Amino acid sequence: MGWLAFFREAYTQVSAAAAQHENNNQNRAAQEEARSETFNRTLRTIQVMPTEEFRTPEELKDAAITELKQRLERRDVDFAGCVERQELVDLLVKYRGGPSNNDTCCICCEEYQSGDVLRLLRKCKHEFHLECLDKWAFTSVSSQRAPSCPLCNQGLE
């Protein structure tokens, strides 16, 4: 092999390696852009979810009727037939946490305490500590999966 053929072969190999490196950089950039878009979409999704302070049934008995009705509206619970405050409280306790009716965050397994800020999922009506659900939702950023409810797998969007 002559010098010309040697340099031609070396140049071809270096050019191929440079093209492969550039292709890898483009793939990384595309993946990072997709991850950034997923992060932003997840952030927008959780920012519009309603939040509320956890209140015990005893505390709900002392809550304003307006507050009880707002809490029921967030859960899409029909309270039109309710006349007494206790009926509103009973409905709210019945529909707290969606179908599972929990007083415990299933992400951290801690019981809700009075004053804990909860995030209410719009579709399934499950409730979780705000911090727990936010962390849970952002775990999906590194995967191809859309964020979903930890209990029923209903999409958050």
What global pTM score does this model have? 0.74
Q: How far apart are CA 138 and CA 147, in angstroms?
A: 7
Sites in the chain below the pLDDT cut of 70: 1-8, 10-11, 14-25, 98-101
Residues 59 and 112 sit within 8 Å (Cβ to Cβ): no
Give the tens place of pLDDT for each residue, 67-100. Answer: 999 999 988 899 998 889 999 999 988 888 765 5
